[in-house]
Amino acid sequence: MSTANKSQYNSRVTPYVFSCWILAAFGGLMFGYDIGISGGVTGMDEFLMKFFPKVHERKLHAHENNYCKYDDEMLQLFTSSLYIAALVASFFASKACSLFGRRPTILMASLFFIAGSIFCGAANAKWMLIFGRVLFGIGVGFGNEAVPLFLSEIAPIHHRGAVNILFQLLVTVGILVANLINYGTAMMKHGWRVSLGLAAVPGFILFIGSLVITETPPSLLEMGKEMEARAALQKIRGVDNVDAEFQQIVTGCEQAKQVKRPFKKLFKKSGFPALFISTIIQVFQQFTGINAIMFYAPVLFQTLGFKSDASLLSAVITGLVNVGATFVSIYAVDKLGRRKLLLQASIQMFISQVAIGAILVTHLKATGSLDKVLAAVVVVLVCTFVMSFAWSWGPMGWLIPSEIFPIETRTAGFAFAVSTNMIFTFIIAQAFLSMLCHMRAYIFFFFSAWILVMGLFVVFLLPETKGVPIELVEERVWKQHPVWKKFFKDDAKETTD
């Protein structure tokens, strides 16, 4: 079936499949909500006074050392404990995805998430707060593993990029909603409880979703349920004749069944290209510096001398830009391809970061403020940065790893992508406030140097996967690439275990 192309695959987007996409993508909203909520909450006085009185004290008296007022390890742990938990959980989630399927894994994610929001919203002690964040984290680990795989596996081939990006779209919506909620609760008594507790809402929607959505055909085949797999494919494609596509998936799964230890296979020579690309793309996604802005936008804008309210508002503006630009990606990814978007964005991100760094280094006053016009220019530059991230490295970080592994190593390989995202999100979350304190505005030059490296990576090492059926990626992508084809030379000699 090496000649499979899109015309061989019958498919219509049925209302049922559309609802499956949207419901599953709520896993992204849960993740985004968490990312967005902690920055605002950590700026709220009542929250700081209750759990981090020393930081509150410093915040009240900060002037000169503005860059350092939020530099506190426990406060950073509040944000970053979630990512450590998610990192560990993603490997369990990979097992759960293979053994029980994508759907039950999504269900588990929602339950952890609801439990986490109860603990955080009701927290009376620091341990409850951190424990709640850990539960959230387990939910995120399960959701981030299962949802992108789910989306890629039920998407019609010629819309795969767009469908997969629904996950990242809802991540961005989650961040925005969280920012808006923080904006509303900032002045409220117990506002922080409302902000943290409301996370239960997307968790609950995902819970309902996981009862409604179908299991994916590859996952059903992986569990040996051939009849159900065909029926599921017919249901999601909305046509009876799904023979060509079904045969393709069956062939992929038969090969997979011969592989008893996917993690071992992943570390063989021929497993390296996909493992490398999906890991590095997540490292790079985080080294764009996006989360320095996403987590700490209100804190960052306050540091630049905006008042509390204005800072939250600026964070809402960047949140809106983030959502809007992700739509651009949905529209363009299956037309322009992955590489073009990543390259264009690397250039735009580089210019934005260098310009922000230059303005801050040369014009930030000793009091930690900027004059009005320059402050507005910085907000605009932050927006051009966020915008280009949102149509490139943001969604591609999930899309590319979900489509470059063969089925036998897909869940295991994807777990590496998820956990890498978590480790590096953690590193940035944990380190950013200290880095900001020590490197000051030079931090923007640090990130822009990374962006330069990323551009070169795309030019030389990243293959295009637009329009290639997942089952044919090895033949059509890896074995044709000038660098990566060398890893498939001794293919025949490799055993299948």
List interacting residues with ligand FRU (CB under 6 A): 35, 168, 171-172, 175, 285, 290-291, 294, 322, 394, 397, 425
In whole angstroms, the minimum distance from the beta carbon of 114 to ligand FRU comes to 22
Contact (CB, 8 A) for 65 and 117:
no
Q: How far apart are CA 473 and CA 28, in angstroms?
A: 26
In sequence order, the 6+-apart residues with CB closer than 8 A to the CB of 186 are: 40, 43, 44, 308, 309, 312
In whole angstroms, the minimum distance from the beta carbon of 478 to ligand FRU comes to 24
Q: Smaller CB distance to ligand FRU: residue 214 or 318?
A: 318
Q: Smaller CB distance to ligand FRU: residue 182 or 322?
A: 322
Q: State the number of CA atoms in the 13 A half-sphere of 130 facing the CB.
A: 14
In whole angstroms, the minimum distance from the beta carbon of 242 to ligand FRU comes to 32
In whole angstroms, the minimum distance from the beta carbon of 325 to ligand FRU comes to 9
In whole angstroms, the minimum distance from the beta carbon of 322 to ligand FRU comes to 5
In whole angstroms, the minimum distance from the beta carbon of 397 to ligand FRU comes to 5
Q: Smaller CB distance to ligand FRU: residue 250 or 321?
A: 321
Q: Smaller CB distance to ligand FRU: residue 82 or 96?
A: 82
What is the DSSP annotation of 398-412? HHHHHHSS-HHHHHH
Q: How far apart are CA 301 and CA 375, in angstroms?
A: 9
Q: Smaller CB distance to ligand FRU: residue 192 or 385?
A: 385
In whole angstroms, the minimum distance from the beta carbon of 288 to ligand FRU comes to 8
List alpha helices for 123-259, DSSP H: 126-154, 160-185, 191-197, 200-212, 217-222, 226-237, 243-257
Output phi, psi for 357, to 5 deg: -55, -45
Angle value at C-alpha 177, between 172 and 181, nearest 5 degrees:
150
In whole angstroms, the minimum distance from the beta carbon of 222 to ligand FRU comes to 26
Give the H or E element holding residue 225. none
Contact (CB, 8 A) for 167 and 25:
yes
Q: Smaller CB distance to ligand FRU: residue 168 or 311?
A: 168
Contact (CB, 8 A) for 367 and 64:
yes
In sequence order, the 6+-apart residues with CB closer than 8 A to the CB of 323 are: 169, 172, 173, 176, 390
Q: Smaller CB distance to ligand FRU: residue 175 or 345?
A: 175
Q: Smaller CB distance to ligand FRU: residue 214 or 384?
A: 384
Burial code (b: 16+ CB inside 10 Å, e: under 16) for 300-322 equals: bbbbbbbebebbbbbbbbbbbbb
Give the H or E element holding residue 323. helix 308-336
Backbone φ/ψ region at 226: left (φ over 0), alpha (ψ -120 to 50), beta: alpha
In whole angstroms, the minimum distance from the beta carbon of 128 to ligand FRU comes to 25
Residue nearest ligand FRU by beta-carbon distance: 294
Q: Smaller CB distance to ligand FRU: residue 142 or 246?
A: 142
Q: How far apart are CA 352 and CA 143, in angstroms?
A: 32
In whole angstroms, the minimum distance from the beta carbon of 286 to ligand FRU comes to 6
Q: Smaller CB distance to ligand FRU: residue 85 or 232?
A: 85
User: Is residue 60 exposed (0-12), middle (13-18) or buried (19+ Cβ within 10 Å)?
Assistant: exposed
